[in-house]
Amino acid sequence: MNDHGLVCTQPFTWCEVHADGSVFACCPSWLERPLGNLLQNAFGDIWNGAVALAIRRSVIDGSFARCNRLRCPRLAAGSSPVMPLTAVTPALRHMMQRQMVQLPFGPRAINLCYDHRCNLACASCRRDFMQAGKRTERRLRQIEDRIRIAIGPGLEEMTVSGFGDPFGSPSYRSLLQTMTRGDFPRLHTLRLHTNGLLWDARMWDSMPHARELLKSAEISVDAARASTYALNRRGGDFSRLLNNLAFIRSLNVPLTLSFVVQQNNYTEMAAFVDLAREYGAAVYFSRLVNWGTFSEQEYRLRCVHDTRHPEHGALIGILETLADQAGVDIGNLRPLLPGQEGAG
């Protein structure tokens, strides 16, 4: 690999933890195999285990053999954490150039995905509202304890959450309300990914340390109109969302509104960009993924990004008008554009 080859820093700096204790080096939709299990293995054996080493080698040699190039929006767009080797920090570039895949440090960033509970039941994510029994609660506490003890001291960045809502999940909410500098002494960046419906001033006031750390937020919306929102965000209240967006904007943190593109909302993409701009937010669009929530027939009807969909051409026309607008990221939809088929 030469100095101009693309690499990805994710497997060298980042992990996410799921409900069964599985630890991944990236989103499992993009990189499917876990590194190990936090409830079964010592974290050092996970972070520098055989799977982790193989993933890092595939990044260094430029093959990305373990990654799903179609689904990963960063590989598709060539955007951070995918970057030329010359753009990587000097210390990490030094390691990559010498093909050092066993790391003398732990992850600097973590994405919490271990509590699936949410105040919504969106079809693109889950079949129904999720509860947790006593056994599940015990497992969640075990995972949280191991994160605090085994990973927490070295963490610099935390994302809450890749699955479940940071305010709708009792576990995440408790962590945000009780976290201290002693738990995470190096932590300086908190990123929130939420539906935003429970994020009001009262909730935010209950999280003093988290408030100090917040650096950015992403809010999943998937609609520009109340009627479409009711279809895609089951249990949601569009008026309440807009009220909370006004509050969140007052926090003066970088804000992104995200939108999973499907047949029932793609015609609202331009209106969604306008909505986001009203609240000073950037926009992120992505393809619909079937997480087992749709039948094959229903998914075919919804997945307008599929070239076989009868409305695919209309989607392409919309993407062409939005692709290069400031503050708009079309993520893993970009390879659909003419001339971009081989991107990533």
For each successive 10 residues of the chain (344 residues), what is the average pLDDT?
A: 74 96 93 95 97 96 89 84 94 94 96 92 76 85 94 96 91 94 95 97 96 97 98 96 98 97 98 98 95 92 97 98 97 90 46
Could you tell me the residue range of the domain that residue 32 belongs to? 6-98
In degrees, to the nearest 5, what angle opens at C-alpha 261 toward C-alphas 274 and 190? 75
Residue 286 lies in a domain: yes
CB within 8 A of 233, min separation 6: which ones?
120, 122, 195, 220, 221, 222, 223
Pairing status of strand 14-18 against strand 109-113: parallel
Residue 330 lies in a domain: yes
Residue finishing a domain among 38, 70, 98: 98
- pTM higher than the cut 0.85: yes
Total domain count, the chain: 2
Residue 171 lies in a domain: no
Residue 248 lies in a domain: yes
Residue 105 lies in a domain: no
End-to-end CA distance of the chain: 17
**What pLDDT, on the 0 to 100 scale, is given for residue 343?**
44
Are 272 and 241 within 8 A, CB to CB? no
Residue finishing a domain among 98, 132, 154: 98
Residue finishing a domain among 69, 98, 127: 98
Residue 343 has which token pair?
């991107």
> What H or E segment, with its residue span, contains residue 173?
helix 170-178
